[in-house]
């Protein structure tokens, strides 16, 4: 007797020319599992056409191959988003599942914020899925697929920035009012839409890094001047990629200005203070927080508490410190941020309890 257990997966995950290391089954009308593709077999476009034209909503894998399947999704996520055989809903479901695991793993390991409850995981899945559906409709999906295909770590970072941005803004109605004047008077669905658009800006903020070589992105040491110039182009490249999409202006400005510093020392335009749009000022804080709490090519992750101290210019608590003890790339960070927003973000962080 066949006592194998199978799990349903989305047919949208099956992409032409990739070589999954697991078998794929389909289920007959009598409930029997029939082998459809062997591990290591490239799946041809004609096979995929038959699968999708038949309106199949799920295919199956042996449950013992779940880990391999998850690795396959991570490796091929960019191609899956570009897969013309998959529906937008299938892509959004796959993307939100992979992304939720990224956020969960980061919070439970490097950030040490506690075990993510099933409830928070569900909300994270919905948040990411909504953002991706909007991205699909706004014609910016290809740009996102390009970025993920180029550099998976940029995608992981962007996913976490999405989570923090949406969670932070949901607890900060006054900031949402500044992002979208008249927010308080909107109905529930319109309010959700404003937050969703901010999340879209968050996940796309580094999309221009698709044009920065991996050698520069992952360099284990200081960037040479010319490399730094290339790196500094990514907000502009990001805007260029998204210019013809239906994203609203405040999202495009958020992406273009997310490296502008409050004191005018940022790039690409050297804007200052309130001339920087508020979504970009929020992203500047969250982008930095996530980068510092993540493993970087040149540094181990900092704890959230130490990161906040460094961002406030007090790496050793209340002690007045010598900046030379800090990593040069973290020195003198405080003037980069809008202090009011930074204060609100720190208060929000104090309330992040993932295990509730
Ligand atoms: Fe960036």
d(CA 92, CA 188): 23
H helices of the chain, in order, are: 45-53, 66-81, 88-108, 118-137, 141-150, 152-170, 173-179, 188-204, 214-217, 225-231, 234-242, 249-256, 278-293, 304-311, 339-350
Specify the pLDDT at position 296: 76
Rounded to 10 degrees, the C-alpha dihedral 75/238/182/343 comes to 80
Specify the pLDDT at position 193: 93
> What is the whole-number distance in angstroms between the Cα of residue 155 and the centre of ligand 1?
12
Strands 59-62 and 33-37: unpaired
d(CA 343, CA 347): 6
d(CA 144, CA 131): 12
235 touches 255 (CB < 8 A):
yes
Return the domain boundaries, the chain: 1-86, 87-350
Strand order in the sheet with 6-9: 6-9, 59-62, 24-27, 33-37
> What is the whole-number distance in angstroms between the Cα of residue 221 and the centre of ligand 1?
18
> What is the whole-number distance in angstroms between the Cα of residue 259 and the centre of ligand 1?
6
Q: DSSP secondary-structure letter at 355?
A: T
CA distances from 90 to 96, 147, 182 (A): 10, 19, 35
> What is the whole-number distance in angstroms between the Cα of residue 97 and the centre of ligand 1?
24
d(CA 119, CA 101): 14
> What is the whole-number distance in angstroms between the Cα of residue 156 and the centre of ligand 1?
13
> What is the whole-number distance in angstroms between the Cα of residue 32 and the centre of ligand 1?
50
> What is the whole-number distance in angstroms between the Cα of residue 285 and the centre of ligand 1?
11
> What is the whole-number distance in angstroms between the Cα of residue 164 and the centre of ligand 1?
15
> What is the whole-number distance in angstroms between the Cα of residue 205 and the centre of ligand 1?
6
38 touches 23 (CB < 8 A):
yes
> What is the whole-number distance in angstroms between the Cα of residue 98 and the centre of ligand 1?
22
Specify the pLDDT at position 321: 46
> What is the whole-number distance in angstroms between the Cα of residue 22 and the centre of ligand 1?
36
> What is the whole-number distance in angstroms between the Cα of residue 125 and the centre of ligand 1?
24
Task: Give the CATH H-level superfamily of domain 87-350.
Answer: Hypothetical protein af1432 (1.10.3210.10)
Partnered with residue 218 across adjacent β-strands are none
pTM of the model: 0.86
Specify the pLDDT at position 181: 95
Specify the pLDDT at position 111: 80
How many CB atoms lie under 10 A from the CB of residue 117? Answer: 13
Tokens of 58: 């799920």
> What is the whole-number distance in angstroms between the Cα of residue 184 and the centre of ligand 1?
30
Partnered with residue 8 across adjacent β-strands are 60
Partnered with residue 60 across adjacent β-strands are 8, 25
> What is the whole-number distance in angstroms between the Cα of residue 85 and the centre of ligand 1?
32
Partnered with residue 59 across adjacent β-strands are 9
Please list the pLDDT of the chain residue by residue as tens digits (356 residues): 467 899 998 888 888 777 788 899 988 889 899 998 888 877 777 777 777 777 777 889 999 999 899 889 888 899 899 888 888 888 999 999 899 988 888 888 878 777 888 888 888 889 999 999 999 888 899 999 999 999 999 999 999 999 999 999 999 999 999 999 999 999 999 999 999 999 999 999 999 999 999 999 988 888 999 999 999 999 999 999 999 898 999 999 999 999 999 999 999 999 999 999 999 999 999 999 999 998 777 778 888 988 999 999 876 654 444 444 555 555 578 899 999 999 999 999 988 765 44
> What is the whole-number distance in angstroms between the Cα of residue 127 and the centre of ligand 1?
21
Partnered with residue 6 across adjacent β-strands are 62
> What is the whole-number distance in angstroms between the Cα of residue 255 and the centre of ligand 1?
8
37 touches 43 (CB < 8 A):
yes
């Amino acid at each position: 007797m066949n006592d194998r257990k199978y799990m349903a997966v989305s047919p949208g995950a099956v992409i032409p020319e990739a070589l999954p290391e697991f078998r794929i089954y389909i289920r007959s009308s009598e409930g029997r599992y029939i082998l459809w593709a062997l591990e290591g077999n490239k799946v041809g476009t004609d096979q995929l056409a038959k699968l999708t034209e038949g309106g199949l909503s799920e295919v199956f894998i042996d449950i013992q191959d779940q880990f391999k399947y998850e690795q396959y999704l991570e490796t091929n996520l960019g191609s899956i988003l570009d897969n013309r055989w998959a529906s937008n809903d299938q892509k959004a479901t796959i993307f939100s599942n992979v992304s939720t695991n990224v956020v969960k793993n980061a919070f439970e390991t490097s950030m040490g914020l506690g075990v993510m409850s099933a409830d928070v995981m569900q909300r994270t899945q919905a948040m990411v899925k909504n953002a991706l559906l909007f991205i699909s409709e706004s014609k910016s999906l290809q740009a996102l697929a390009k970025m993920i295909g180029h550099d998976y770590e940029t995608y992981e970072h962007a996913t976490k920035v999405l989570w923090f941005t949406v969670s932070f803004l949901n607890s900060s109605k006054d900031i949402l009012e500044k992002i979208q004047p008249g927010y308080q008077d909107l109905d529930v669905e319109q309010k959700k839409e404003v937050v969703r658009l901010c999340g879209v800006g968050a996940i796309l903020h580094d999309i221009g890094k698709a044009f920065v070589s991996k050698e520069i992105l992952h360099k284990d040491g200081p960037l040479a001047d010319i490399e730094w110039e290339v790196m500094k182009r990514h907000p502009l490249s990001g805007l260029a990629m998204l210019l013809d999409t239906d994203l609203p202006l405040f999202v495009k400005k958020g992406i273009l200005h997310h490296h502008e510093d409050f004191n005018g020392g940022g790039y690409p335009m050297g804007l200052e203070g309130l001339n920087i749009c508020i979504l970009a000022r929020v992203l500047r804080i969250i982008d930095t927080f996530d980068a510092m709490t993540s493993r970087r090519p040149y540094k181990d992750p900092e704890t959230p508490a130490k990161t906040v101290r460094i961002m406030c210019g007090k790496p050793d608590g209340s002690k007045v410190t010598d900046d030379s003890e800090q990593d040069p790339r973290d020195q003198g960070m405080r003037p980069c941020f809008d202090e009011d927003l930074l204060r609100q973000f720190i208060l929000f962080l104090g309330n992040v309890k993932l295990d509730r």
